[in-house]
Amino acid sequence: MEKVKTILLNKGIFSDNNAEADKLRQNLEKEGVFLINVMSSPGAGKTTTLISLINRLKTRFNVGVMEADIDYDIDAVRVAEKTGCKSVQLHTGGMCHLDASMTRQGLEELGYKGLDIVFLENVGNLVCPAEFDTGAHLEIMILSVPEGDDKPLKYPLVFQKCGLVIINKCDALPYFDFDFEECKRRILNRNPKATVIPVSAKRGDGMEELENYFIKKINGKEKT
């Protein structure tokens, strides 16, 4: 395994982030790379879920991971150690989200050629990351049970944008007042096309369904 790099990203200089994101998306398509932007609140279990998922996907696909944080170096090392996949740590220099230019810097440092899938673990934040197109082909989010079933009411944009909502920490359902069916209804109300998959990344529940979702999505390379 290569040493895990930490990269301090520079804020994008492009005035039109959407155009820059479209360009990046097309560049990645030409190389056969499918980029997935993973969003969630702090502590929803992004890294644990990704490690579990990547260990299932890595027999079929070459996977790379970019771990974005404001100031922390542990996640990328943890992913590399637990999955053996290529991984880089991105520091946003205080920024609350990644834009397309920052994502491109990360991809260049990661070395994306030859990869089939790159997961971008965005900064833990339900507001700002949803506002910036990173150039990803698929936006997904992780909502964890302890956060509550009202989050689709309070943070509309991220639920509208995500093709997949993973509901994590389902092993904690007995200890929290969380109505899964009501939450799913609220998610579909924001985005009728969303797929909702309950999992416990820690215990492994639901991970096969999640694996199958990605196999289908990446083989088809559908844009959502």
Contact 120, 68 (CB under 8 A): yes
Q: Closest distance between a copy of itself and the C-beta of residue 145, in Å?
A: 8
Q: Closest distance between a copy of itself and the C-beta of residue 146, in Å?
A: 4
Residues contributing to the site for a copy of itself (CB under 8 A): 41-43, 69-72, 74, 94, 96, 123-128, 131, 144, 146-148, 150-151, 153-157, 169, 172, 175-176
Residues 6+ away with beta carbon under 8 Å from 153: 186
List the structure tokens of 223. 């844009």
Q: Closest distance between a copy of itself and the C-beta of residue 5, in Å?
A: 18
Residue closer to a copy of itself by CB (options 5, 78) is 78
Residue closer to a copy of itself by CB (options 67, 116) is 67
Residue closer to a copy of itself by CB (options 161, 169) is 169
Q: Closest distance between a copy of itself and the C-beta of residue 222, in Å?
A: 28
Contact 45, 144 (CB under 8 A): yes
Residue closer to a copy of itself by CB (options 2, 71) is 71
Q: Closest distance between a copy of itself and the C-beta of residue 117, in Å?
A: 24
DSSP β-bridge partners for residue 205 = 200
Using DSSP, state whether 67 is helix, strand or coil: strand
CA 118 to chain centre: 9
Residue closer to a copy of itself by CB (options 173, 196) is 173
DSSP β-bridge partners for residue 138 = 36
- As a whole number of angstroms, the distance between CA 206 and CA 138 comes to 20
Contact 13, 101 (CB under 8 A): yes
